[in-house]
Chain A
């Protein structure tokens, strides 16, 4: 079992839909990162969370430390949001573990 599980692995939606991508992890963590990888391969860091919720534009990230779960939400999705979204967790002071990513496709 992977230490970081993302779901779904693939998601296709229509423009304007509300999108949720989930990240679950199996051990205690000190922080969690959400990254976006564009179709061309470039990686952009979206959020770093250790508790609660963060918002940037149409993107919202939440984390529930007790349930070992984080979600990334996209409101009013747009084709330019099509990318692979990657969750990464820092496990205490020992390890940085990445999920395998969720491939999101938004159709016009």
Chain B
């Protein structure tokens, strides 16, 4: 069964600190993995997209890693800001359909305190 599991479920950090969010998946055949940021009451916004051959991709203070062998990904946030408070969702796409089927994790709810 294609699944995406994220940890931790929630995380509280102080402004300026770093944090790392984890994602494990069983989706096969694998196409790509994305990290989305979803602010409360808003739609998800893409942060990074990685294919099988990519190990690391950065977008400003966000750095995503992918280990396709162990089917694990992480999202590292550097020097957190209050505006980073949001849900971070790991999404995996399979190669098996023209639909571009996405499999969503439940997200990690990050809260950044001043």
Q: Do A and B come together as binding partners?
A: no
